[in-house]
Structure 1
Amino acid sequence: MQGSIDVILNEQIVTGDMSTEAGISVNALALRFNDVGVSIGALGAGLLNGEVIISHSEASMQASAQPVPEPGSMALLACGLCSCAGYNIRRRAKRS
């Protein structure tokens, strides 16, 4: 069985649900060892498994959803109707 060494440059891992939480992790250089045979002099031979990461950085943000207050729809409608009524009363007063 032969092992493998993976070399990954600029690995970007996106995290979060993208609506209230988002994040990114960046590894400039990642080396992954999967069952790589090694021989170290008198210590003998063995398998190497693991990961070496060079220059890791993370960034994240969180947002909380705040309820948006609805304007007083009835108050706006009442103001509009009062304005129309006032305009009609004023127009009729000018005609007389």
Structure 2
Amino acid sequence: MSANAVSGHAQSNIDGLAGDRYALGESEIVGLAINSPLLTLTADTITSSANISGDYGSIDPMGSSNLANASLSVAGQTIDLDANAAANTAILPGLLNPLGLSLVLNEQTMSDDGSGNASMITNALHLSFNDALLGLGVLNGDIVIGHSQASLSAIANPGNGGGDNGGNGGTPEVPAPGANWLFLIGGLALIMVGMKKQQHRFDASAPMTQGQLIAS
């Protein structure tokens, strides 16, 4: 596996005040080439993003990815991959699965508890090997390309007043701040493969971009 460049970006406008805020993680891979006895996969550019926005009680996770001029060659066939695939698009499972392979484009995993905690993970491309025959052995593992992640947690202010002491009964203010912490990861390309009973891990990423902000 090779790439001309791998980069990541993290951004947020969290400042500890009330109102909508966002957390964003992005990644970009230029000149991707995966060449193996099982398949060949190339792309000019791969990008992904994970975005969390909103305020306490209403946080919206969103993800997206794009593959420019990407193609897959396997079992004597060459397939042009969709540049803007829908979320969690499985590519030709009828052809790949019997070979011990699976390929998912624009893989998105989101979590939102509905009260202020949400996360979004986007993998532009996720290639899995499941007992794939390779020579005299089998190959198990995953190649994840274009990984972006963002998460955000928001809490409500406790309210003003003293209940029985003539205040406002302890009724909370408009929920704020928009977030109390942020964790972003962008630009990760990770290969995990296993041959027979041995496990081999290769980190094919450039230095990972990450940011963390604590707002009281």
Query: Shorter-chain-normalised TM-score: which range?
Result: 0.5 to 0.7
Mapping of residues 1-96 of structure 1, within 5 Å: 4-39=100-135, 45-69=136-160, 72=167
* Largest Rg, 1 or 2: 1
Identical aligned residues as a percent: 40
For 1:37-64, what per-residue CA distance to the aligned partner results, in whole angstroms no more than 9, with x for missing partners? 101xxxxx11101100111000111112
Where in structure 1 do 4 or more consecutive aligned residues deviate above 2 Å? 15-18, 68-74
Tell me how large the CA RMSD over aligned residues is: 2.3
Deviation at 1:18, TM superposition (A): 3.5
Relative to its length, the structure with more strand (as a share) is 2
Partners of 2:116 and 2:126 lie apart in 1 by: 29
Partners of 2:114 and 2:131 lie apart in 1 by: 36
TM norm structure 1: 0.60
Partners of 1:23 and 1:73 lie apart in 2 by: 35
Unaligned runs of 5+ in 2: 1-97, 170-216
TM norm structure 2: 0.28
Relative to its length, the structure with more helix (as a share) is 1
Partners of 1:73 and 1:20 lie apart in 2 by: 24
Q: 1:18 to 1:73 in 2, by over 3 A?
A: closer
Q: Which amino acid aligns with 1:72?
A: G
Partners of 2:154 and 2:147 lie apart in 1 by: 24
Unaligned runs of 5+ in 1: 40-44, 75-96
Deviation at 1:65, TM superposition (A): 2.7
Match of 1:86 in 2: none
Partners of 1:18 and 1:24 lie apart in 2 by: 14
